[in-house]
Every structure is written in structure tokens, then in C-alpha cells.
């Protein structure tokens, strides 16, 4: 039986890149998105094509749900359980940038609440529910044996977890929180055999970075990242596949920087 992954925010950008990479390795998918149904449909279709090209037949189901809403998270898990019965991998990818990049001394509480609800509270309580599901299905008789016995959870954080950008403090705080969330769930779930990992993307070419493309083009050209190019959703997809396929069985709570070397300090 094929392993199944639940990916949040899989319609576009990094989530789409992760979905395509897993599909090519024969993973069935539950693809969550918020609003952009046509993008989600295109991703599902492309996942099937990637899988077929690699000789796999997979399932790719779409589930619309706003990760910041308690009701939607509940519905997402119920629907995923109906569709797949089991979850071998949860990728907490869905996230937003502030609508307006506002200075720390001006930024609004509305933006703060929205960022924290989507980027921090959403994945926290979704992971709580999915971890319970993973534990339930590993002990219930009658559920087919997992091809890979260790379920895994991945959080997509950001270089903003440790980089102070004073024009989007709410985003930085949410991502610093995701880093601690990784440690917390890793510590709690190790005894259940569930590995938990954090991927910290650098500057990745997606719709999220579209509005600041020229600024980042310049910074990258000037050497902001030792590897002088934009990251791609494929770069993140490769990292998730390595984790998903069990390349790190004696690691948990580990942080993977996929950032062109941005995190290096140099003299
Ligand atoms: P993106 O291109 O804007 O795509 C965002 C995805 O998240 C879309 O699939 C969107 O669904 C979904 N989404 C947004 N709000 C949601 C909600 N409330 N509930 C469920 N899904 C929701 O963003 P991205 O650049 O791929 O970013 C993905 C993740 O990587 C985020 O957590 C982001 O913070 C992180 N990240 C990005 C970068 C970067 O440079 N791009 C760097 C570091 C970290 P719809 O299509 O339905 O709107």
C-alpha cells in the first residue's frame, strides 16, 4: 500500500513543489488549500502526471480548509481520514506573509492576529490532531501495515525564525514559534516513533515573494546568499522527500536549512 502525505497549502508555491516531488516517488496525497481551487486542481493533475512518468499510480485528493479556523481544521482531518485512512507524513506548509509590511512601531494587531492564527496556531492544533491519528492507526488492528513504519511530521518555517525584519515582526514571531513547535512535538512524539523535522527555506521564488522580487534580485546578486540564486519549490521538495523516505532515522527535532547558505556567518 502506498504511503500517504497530508500537505497544507499545496495549491501553489512551496507546497506544490513538495507535492510534485512526493508524487514522483509514489506517494498518495491529500492536498489542502484555502481558496484557489483552480490552482489546486492543476497541482493535483500535475501530481498524477509526475507519478505516472515515474511509473506510479497515486491518489491526489483536494480538501479546501482554512488552517486558521478551528472548524476547518477539524473538517480537514475528518475528510483526510475518510479519504486515506492513514497518514504517514504531515507537512505543515500553509502560511502567509503580512498583507502590508509595516514598521514595528506602526504594525496593527489585526495583522498580528491573522499571522499568528495562520502560521502558528493553525499548524499547532492541526499537528495535535494528526499526531493522535498517526498514533491511533499504528495501534489499531486491521489497518494495513505501513510500508514505512515511522510516520513523520515536517514544519516549513523560514530564515525569519532567527532573522529580524523590522517591517514584518508578526511574520518573524510566527516563524520563531514554529521552530519551538518543532522541538516540542519532536520531544513529545519520539516515544511514539514519530520523527519531527523543521525545514527553513531561504528566499524562494513563489507568489509570496513576487512583490519583493526586484529587491531580492539585487540582494542575491550582491551576495546575500553564498549560493547566488533564488531557491525554488523543487529545492524544498527534495528535502521533504529525503525526510519522508527515512534518510534520518536517528534524528528528530532537526533543522534543515534550505537557504543557499544564508544562515552562515562570515568574516
Ligand atoms: P504562496 O506561494 O503564497 O502559497 C501559499 C499556499 O498556502 C497556497 O497554497 C495557499 O492556498 C495556502 N494558504 C494560505 N493561507 C492558508 C490558510 N489559511 N489555510 C490553508 N492554506 C492556506 O507561499 P509560499 O512561498 O509557497 O510559502 C509556503 C510556506 O513557506 C509558508 O509557510 C511560508 O511562510 C514559507 N516560506 C516561504 C518562503 C519564500 O521565500 N517563498 C521562505 C521561507 C518560508 P491558496 O492557493 O488557496 O491561497
Q: Determine the atom of ligand 1 nearest the C-alpha atom of 72.
A: 19
Section 65-88 average pLDDT: 97
Q: Describe the crossing of helices 70-84 and 122-139 by its angle, rounded to 10 degrees.
A: 30
Task: Give domain status of residue 266, yes or no.
Answer: no
**Domain total for the chain?**
1
CB of residue 62 inside a 6 A radius of ligand 1: no
The answer to whether residue 14 is domain-embedded is yes
- Please indicate, yes or no, if residue 46 is contained in any of the structural domains: yes
Is the pLDDT at 170 greater than 90? The verdict is yes
The answer to whether position 263 is within a domain reads no
Give the residue-averaged pLDDT of 120-128.
98
| Catalytic residue IDs | 171
Whether 199 maps to a domain, the answer reads yes
- Domain that residue 138 falls in: 4-258
**Position 143 confidence tier, pLDDT thresholds 50, 70, 90:** low
Please state the pTM of the whole predicted model.
Answer: 0.97
Residue 265 domain-assigned? no
The mean pLDDT of 109-132, rounded to a whole number, is: 98
pLDDT reported for residue 2: 86
Provide the greatest CA pair distance for the chain.
58
Higher pLDDT, 110 or 1: 110
What's the rounded mean pLDDT across residues 98-127?
A: 97
Using the mean position of ligand 1's atoms as its centre, give its distance from the Cα of residue 67 in Å: 11
Residue 264 falls within a domain, yes or no? no
* Ligand 1 contacts CB of residue 69 (under 6 A): no
pLDDT of residue 121 exceeding 60: yes
Distance 11 CA to ligand 1 centre (A): 9
Choose the residue to mutate in 6, 7, 8, 9 for probing ligand 1, maximizing ligand atoms within 8 Å of C-beta: 9
- Confidence band of 138 (pLDDT split at 50, 70, 90): confident
What is the structure's pLDDT at 63?
A: 98
pLDDT reading at 70 higher than 90 = yes
Q: Give the CATH number, domain containing residue 136.
A: 3.40.50.720
Average pLDDT over residues 106-128: 98
What are the pLDDT digits (tens) for 179-215? 999 999 999 999 999 999 999 999 999 999 999 999 9
121 in any annotated domain: yes
CA 149 to centroid of ligand 1, rounded, Å: 29
pLDDT-derived band of residue 149, with 50, 70 and 90 as boundaries? low
The pLDDT assigned to 1 comes to: 74
Q: Ligand 1 pocket test: pick from 7, 8, 34, 171 the residue with the most ligand atoms within 8 Å of its Cβ.
A: 34
Please indicate whether residue 158, judged by its CB atom, sits closer than 6 Å to ligand 1.
Answer: yes
| pLDDT at 235 exceeding the cut of 90 | yes
pLDDT of residue 142: 59
| Beta-strand runs (E) in 72-183 | 89-92, 152-156
- pLDDT score at 153: 98
Amino acid at each position: 500500500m502506498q504511503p500517504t502525505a497530508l500537505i497544507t497549502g499545496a495549491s501553489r508555491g512551496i507546497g506544490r513543489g513538495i507535492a510534485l516531488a512526493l508524487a514522483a516517488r509514489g506517494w498518495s496525497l491529500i492536498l489542502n488549500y484555502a481558496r484557489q481551487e483552480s490552482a489546486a486542481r492543476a497541482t493535483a493533475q500535475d501530481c498524477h502526471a509526475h507519478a505516472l512518468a515515474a511509473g506510479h499510480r497515486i491518489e491526489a485528493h483536494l480538501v479546501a480548509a482554512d488552517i486558521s479556523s478551528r472548524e476547518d481544521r477539524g473538517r480537514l482531518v475528518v475528510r483526510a481520514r475518510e479519504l486515506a485512512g492513514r497518514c504517514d507524513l504531515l507537512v505543515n506548509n500553509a502560511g502567509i506573509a503580512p498583507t502590508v509590511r509595516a514598521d514595528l512601531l506602526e504594525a496593527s494587531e489585526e495583522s498580528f492576529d491573522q499571522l499568528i492564527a495562520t502560521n502558528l496556531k493553525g499548524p499547532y492544533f492541526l499537528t495535535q490532531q494528526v499526531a493522535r491519528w498517526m498514533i491511533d492507526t499504528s495501534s489499531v488492528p486491521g489497518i494495513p501495515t505501513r510500508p514505512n513504519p515511522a510516520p513523520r511530521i515536517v514544519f516549513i518555517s523560514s530564515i525569519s525564525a532567527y532573522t529580524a525584519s523590522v517591517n514584518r515582526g508578526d511574520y518573524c514571531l510566527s516563524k520563531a514559534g514554529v521552530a519551538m513547535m518543532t522541538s516540542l512535538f519532536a520531544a513529545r512524539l519520539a516515544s511514539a516513533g514519530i520523527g519531527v523535522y523543521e525545514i527553513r527555506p531561504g528566499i524562494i521564488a513563489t507568489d509570496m515573494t513576487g512583490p519583493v522580487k526586484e529587491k531580492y534580485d539585487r540582494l542575491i546578486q550582491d551576495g546575500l546568499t553564498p549560493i547566488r540564486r533564488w531557491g525554488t519549490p523543487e529545492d524544498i521538495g527534495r528535502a521533504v522527500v529525503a525526510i519522508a523516505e527515512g534518510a534520518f532515522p536517528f534524528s528528530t527535532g532537526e533543522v534543515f536549512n534550505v537557504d543557499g547558505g544564508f544562515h552562515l556567518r562570515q568574516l
